[in-house]
Amino acid sequence: MAKSTFGAPMRELFLFDPQYKNLNHGSYGTYPRAVQAALRGFQDEAEARTDTFIRYTTPPALDASRTAVAKILNVPRRECVFVKNATTGVNTVLRNLRFSPGDVLLYFDTVYGAVEMGITSLRETTENLLVRKVEYTFPVSHGQLVQQFREVIDAVRRDGLNPRIALFDVIVSVPGVRFPFEALTGVCREEGILSLIDGAHGIGHIPIDLGVLQPDFFTSNCHKWLFTPRGCAVLYVAQRNQHLIRTTLPTSWGFIPETSETGASVPDGENTPFEKLFEFVATTDDTAYMCVPAAVKFREELCGGEDQITSYMESLAREGGDLVAAILGTEVLQETDLQPGEKSQLRRCAMANIRVPVDIEDIPDVPAACAWLQKTLNDEYNTFVPFYPHGGALWFRVCAQVYLEKSDFQWLGEVLKELVAKFKGKKVDLPLR
């Protein structure tokens, strides 16, 4: 197959409604027609011979997908398994750990909301667990984030506590910015702290080399940026830590009791207890897991490979974000102390965050305002971007992707200019909450 051109020609290879512009790829992802064909093929096969498919076809199909995803991450297949989403991956790790009195979980102010809910739930059921949050407001530089992390570690130890594990992002959800996950992983290694990386927006979005990075745990949605169907996420557990992971969520047939011998060597070609643990987790439709090879094939043959994709997306996010901000007369979220010619580290990804030209202090109900802006954009303009408050201002996030081009951001800027004018002109009646 010949490589397709990015932008409008690529759009035809996906499944979009012709009237809809998908400028929010990061939330739920999407996949091309070629991957849909693979998915339906597996699903048809499952219904044609159900026992055959679940009992005998699924394990080798999962192995093939794990091989493909492990190659992208540059780690052995035996360190990669599949879960439904990154939130499940984070929870799986945290729910498996045993915490002693004084153990502290460190995490960051812009943690994904559902993950923070999981931390709250974990604290309710785990007597010994303590938490400390690294607090800040963007824009803040990568160097400042790393320094504040070190300061929190020092403060925890001064209190006589043990910083056991640190949870941090590859790319934050909102604001959609790149996080210094590489440097934070290095700090964890230096300090003897387990590193748990929430890479929900990672694989297929930016280059990630776990073979070099060597974190303790990493999870990433394949259905966001890698073009697999929902829900499909990879969970990486370094071999040195696999003895810590004894159950899936929910606990299922692969559960490893305390009395089991998990450290024994396994013959070549056979899966380890850790791999078998995730091979069958209750009866669910796991065909999305099996579509990684089809997604990789599409990305290599039609898109030119990972480097071409990530380079195009990052450039488009920078140019498109700047264009939308110029139309609105505002700015893109980035570091405030950049030198002439210096590129923002926060913007080294395929998302951009643009300030809405309104005074947030004049909005009596900010959540209701965000809901109205999003719903009106969806209903009247056939697109969607998330709006959110941060640092005393109202922002929205846009995503670049191979099926988008600069003209799509030009269009969005004009649409939002019109939408904001309606909002500021008080032509809207915000619902009460």
Rounded CA separation 364/386 (Å):
19
Label residue 341 by pLDDT band (50, 70, 90). Answer: confident
Map out the domains of the chain as residue ranges: 40-296, 307-425
**DSSP tag of 21:** B
Label residue 158 by pLDDT band (50, 70, 90). Answer: very high
The kind and range of the H/E element at 133 are strand 130-134
**Crossing angle, helix 406-424 and helix 366-381, to 10 degrees?**
130
| Region 378-407 average pLDDT | 98
Q: How long, in residues, is the chain?
A: 433
The pLDDT tens digits of the residues spanning 20-55 come to: 999 999 999 999 999 999 999 999 999 999 999 999
Flag the least confident range among 1-5, 56-60, 215-219, 355-359: 1-5
Which residue in 77, 398, 126 sits closest to 236, CA to CA? 77
**DSSP-based three-state secondary structure for 11:** helix
Residue 392 backbone dihedrals phi, psi, to 5 degrees: 80, 20
At the top level of CATH, the class of 307-425 is alpha beta
Buried b (16+ CB within 10 A) or exposed e, 414-430: ebbeebbeebeeeeeeb
Q: What is the pLDDT of residue 32?
A: 98
Q: Could you please report the per-residue DSSP string of 354-372?
A: EE-SS-GGG-S-HHHHHHH
Label residue 239 by pLDDT band (50, 70, 90). Answer: very high
**CATH architecture type of domain 40-296:** 3-Layer(aba) Sandwich (3.40)
Label residue 4 by pLDDT band (50, 70, 90). Answer: confident
Rounded CA separation 311/297 (Å):
18
- Find out whether 433 and 41 touch, Cβ atoms under 8 Å: no
Question: Please, which residues have CB within 8 angstroms of residue 204's CB and are 6 or more apart in sequence?
Answer: 72, 222, 224, 225, 226, 227, 299, 306, 309
- Find out whether 104 and 131 touch, Cβ atoms under 8 Å: yes
